[in-house]
Structure 1
Amino acid sequence: MYERSVKRLEDPELIGALVGALLKAGYGRETIETALIRQAPIDLDILADCYSRLTAASAAMHDESGSVVKAAVRRAA
């Protein structure tokens, strides 16, 4: 009937930006995956890689902030 070229989400930077924005908005992984998959075909390997990079970056930030807080508490004591 109608032909529509479906664009596949394959750009790691775009997928990372989408996932990051949705995570910051408070959406969970399952909701994000479902929403992206419904919008367009997506490379699931790239999606998984984006999650692992964002998770690693988040963990690194929490570790750094935790160590800064612990050092400040030690100095105060």
Structure 2
Amino acid sequence: MYERSVRRLEDPELVGALVGALIRAGYGRETIERALIRQAPVDLDVLAACYAQLTEAADLMAADADADVGETQAARRAA
């Protein structure tokens, strides 16, 4: 009866929040992409940029965690 326009997912903050929430919920990249694309048209460049940012952030966090573990182990050996 009524036509409504479908909103396009093109806001980087919104797409990033959606992707981040779905990753924390345990979903993989392929599942997330399919789910978002089924809900609304997605700007694929924005989606790729969000994944790149999340991957970079995860890598930095992992590197920091590894450095903290190494420092803790070195402190234990010194004591």
TM-score (norm 1): 0.96
- How many Å apart are 1:2 and its aligned residue? 4.5
- Tell me the percent identity: 62
Matched, 1:14 2:14: yes
Q: Which residue of 2 aligns with 1:62?
A: 62
Displacement, 1:14? 0.1
Query: CA–CA distance in 1 between the matches of 2:39 and 2:2?
Result: 18
* Deviation at residue 75 of structure 1 after TM alignment: 1.1
- Which residue is equivalent to 2:74? 74
SS of residue matched to 2:57: helix
Name 1:33's counterpart in structure 2.
33
TM-score, scaled to structure 2: 0.94
Residues 36-51 of structure 1: pairs in structure 2 closer than 5 A: 36-51=36-51
User: Which residue identity does 1:72 align to in structure 2?
Assistant: T
1: CA distance, partners of 2:49 / 2:75: 39
CA–CA distance in structure 2, aligned partners of residues 61 and 74 of structure 1: 20
Task: Describe the SS at the equivalent of 2:6.
Answer: coil
Give deviations 1:2-61, integer Å, cap 9, x for gaps: 422110001000000000000000000000000000000000000000000000000000
Consecutive unaligned residues of structure 1, counting only runs of 5 or more, are none
Runs of 4+ aligned residues of structure 1 deviating over 4 Å after TM superposition are none
